[in-house]
Amino acid sequence: MAEILLSLTIIGVVAAITLPSLTGNINERTWNTQRKALYARFSQAIALMPALNGYGTFKAPKGTEGTESYDAGQDNCAETFVTAGLAKVLKINNICSDDLGDCGVPSKINPLGGGNVFDTPKTLEALNDKMVGRGTTQHNGYSIYKTKAAAFETQNGESIIVYYNPTCIGSLNETPFTDTSVESGMYIQQRICANFIYDLNGNKGPNTVGKDIGFMTVMYPFDAQLYAPYPANRPLSTTYSGKTATKACTTFDNEYRLPRGDELASMFVNKKLINAASYDVDGYGYLSADFYVRSNGSKAVMSQSLETGFRDDLRLDLLKAVWCIKR
């Protein structure tokens, strides 16, 4: 009897050690499968929409441009984008605007890689206050309205929050830079049409970015592109040049890649979710996998700031930060 009890004790100890790890691995595989399936469904739906800008009504009085009253006129745009646009090409069970929690949205989100838990953003401004600023430079300006978020549930049980910009412009094939200087650049804000935060299992938990919570961003109103980067928990600890950054990501982990410029733009929109403010990076931001040939024949690599949304082209020998992603 003593030997049986000892054997059961040993089995219990081993189970207590291994079961949490096994359960965690099963959850990770399940979330990964769900995430890819969700991306596939959304990609197909977005491709069927005729245009992604212009949804919603505008009721602000004349002469109020640039004021809070002007911004408030776009309050219903995200909900209209869902009801009049997305719901026609995607199976949706429930739509919420006043109380996002009615669609299974968690009240708080745990950011990627740890950090302070924050309240689920209910407006585009709360998600990223740089998305609603008005800036003017010699290269470009941007003007994004302070839209209220909407939410919906899919037939597969995912809860989705929608943040919408009704005035998005641009196209995938546009030339991003117009001169040959390193200082040429643009702000990416106007190219972003909609952003989605998804929770694969509603508010059940762990409500953590990189697990059951992730994000997708739609750019360009026509021939729209959907991006869903899956970032590493933090940037690489060493800077790299445009010549070495790609290899740095595959060396870090064979499943990781250097993000394209628009994938970095998605990370900019969702910088609060990935805890980007915790990392000290200069104004040029992170290197992308996009290269351009300038009018003088020299080759440049594109960088994207996760702080301001500023995009620039850099000489290949400049050392900059790198944040690798999975796709």
Domain ranges of the chain: 27-326
* Separate counts of helices (H) and strands (E) for the chain: 6, 16
Helix (H) or strand (E) holding 103: none
Spatial separation of the C-alpha atoms in residues 74 and 148, rounded to whole Å: 8
CA-based angle 196:198:202, to the nearest 5? 145
Kindly list the averaged pLDDT for each block of 10 residues, start to end, along the chain of length 327. Answer: 64 54 63 94 95 77 58 73 95 91 96 93 92 54 73 94 90 63 66 96 91 97 95 96 95 96 97 94 90 84 92 92 96
pLDDT on residue 263? 98
pLDDT on residue 62? 60
Burial class (CB in 10 A: 0-12, 13-18, 19+), 301: buried
Burial class (CB in 10 A: 0-12, 13-18, 19+), 292: middle
CB 109 within 8 A of CB 100: no
pLDDT on residue 170? 84
Which tokens in the block code for residue 3?
A: 């030997």
Of 218, 210, 223, whose CA–CA distance to 274 is shortest? 210
- CA–CA distances in Å: residue 61 to residues 5, 65, 72, 77: 80, 9, 11, 17
pLDDT on residue 25? 61
For residues 23-46, one letter each, b for 16 or more C-beta atoms within 10 angstroms of the residue's C-beta and e for the rest, the string is eeeeeeeebeebbeebbebbbebb
CB 261 within 8 A of CB 297: no
pLDDT on residue 297? 82
Spatial separation of the C-alpha atoms in residues 219 and 81, rounded to whole Å: 14
pLDDT on residue 181? 39
pLDDT on residue 180? 39
